[in-house]
Chains A and B, each alone.
Chain A
Amino acid sequence: AQSVSQHNHHVILSEAASLELGCNYSYGGTVNLFWYVQYPGQHLQLLLKYFSGDPLVKGIKGFEAEFIKSKFSFNLRKPSVQWSDTAEYFCAVNPGEDMRFGAGTRLTVKP
């Protein structure tokens, strides 16, 4: 079945560590790609999105993601995490007329 896979369910890092969260999808053809973040007690917010063009996209709060078409991947990165990045991160793919989400990765940043 077509799907969006996030490999890490829970990631624990210390402040200033580098972050990479994996996301793979199995849809063929043209897709739009997104990363959303859900801070504790808050609604889902868009971190960044890729529609076309430069496969390295930059989002808010120092996050970036790289689209690698050959690997069907859209991994999220941040060079140096902060305690305030503690949240749940969702990768999403829009292969057509609806959006499919991964199961989410919970990130805990220790001060």
Chain B
Amino acid sequence: KAGVTQTPRYLIKTRGQQVTLSCSPISGHRSVSWYQQTPGQGLQFLFEYFSETQRNKGNFPGRFSGRQFSNSRSEMNVSTLELGDSALYLCASNLQSGLTEAFFGQGTRLTVV
């Protein structure tokens, strides 16, 4: 079965703009989590959605938001982009909330200039 799909793979944006990233989980998975990956910081947890509800949220400013649709697809939005938002954004899907095992997509590489 198809894995976790993230689009787009690469994105270049200008400071102050906003961006929307998309994640399609593995079929049947209802939980989607988002992470920001930067060199030296590892993966920082952004938030988790389960059945269209945000279940958990990491320590990121309100400029970072997300949502999940009834088909479990999820979007992440970052408004008023800053240079420091440049990172690889990873999406992980799971059958249930609670993350017994997460399956990751290849990520969206966001560069803010």
Footprint of B on A, CB under 8 Å? Answer: 6, 9, 32, 34, 36, 42-46, 49, 51, 90, 92, 94, 96-104
Q: Kindly identify which residue among B55, B90, B106 contacts A97, using a CB–CB cutoff of 8 Å.
A: B55
- Shortest CB-to-CB span from B43 to chain A, Å, is 4
Chain B: CB-nearest residue to A36: B104
Q: Which of B33, B43, B105 has the most CB of A within 10 A?
A: B43
Q: Does B111 contact A (CB under 8 A)?
A: no
Q: In whole angstroms, what is the CA distance A6 to B55 when docked?
A: 27
Binary contact readout B78-113 vs A (1 if CB under 8 angstroms, 0 otherwise): 000000000000101000011111111111000000
Q: In whole angstroms, what is the CA distance A34 to B90 when docked?
A: 17
Q: In whole angstroms, what is the CA distance A103 to B102 when docked?
A: 17
With A34-B101, A98-B33, A101-B43 given, name 8 new contacts (CB 8 A).
Answer: A43-B90, A43-B107, A97-B97, A97-B99, A98-B48, A98-B55, A101-B45, A104-B43
Q: Does B40 contact A (CB under 8 A)?
A: yes
Q: A43-B106, A98-B33, A99-B33 are contacts. A104–B42 as well, Cβ < 8 Å? A: yes
- Shortest CB-to-CB span from A89 to chain B, Å, is 11
Q: How many residues of chain B have a CB within 8 Å of chain A?
A: 27
Q: In whole angstroms, what is the CA distance A32 to B105 when docked?
A: 21
Across the interface, do A98 and B99 meet the contact criterion of CB distance under 8 Å? Answer: yes
Q: In whole angstroms, what is the CA distance A16 to B109 when docked?
A: 34
Residues of B within 8 A of A43 (CB): 3-4, 90, 104-107
Q: Kindly identify which residue among A42, A49, A90, A96 contacts B101, using a CB–CB cutoff of 8 Å.
A: A49
Residues of A within 8 A of B33 (CB): 98-99
Residues of B within 8 A of A44 (CB): 90, 92, 104
Q: In whole angstroms, what is the CA distance A44 to B101 when docked?
A: 12
Q: Kindly identify which residue among B98, B105, B106 contacts A94, using a CB–CB cutoff of 8 Å.
A: B98
Binary contact readout B35-58 vs A (1 if CB under 8 angstroms, 0 otherwise): 100001111110010000001101
Residues of A within 8 A of B43 (CB): 90, 92, 101, 104
Chain B: CB-nearest residue to A102: B42
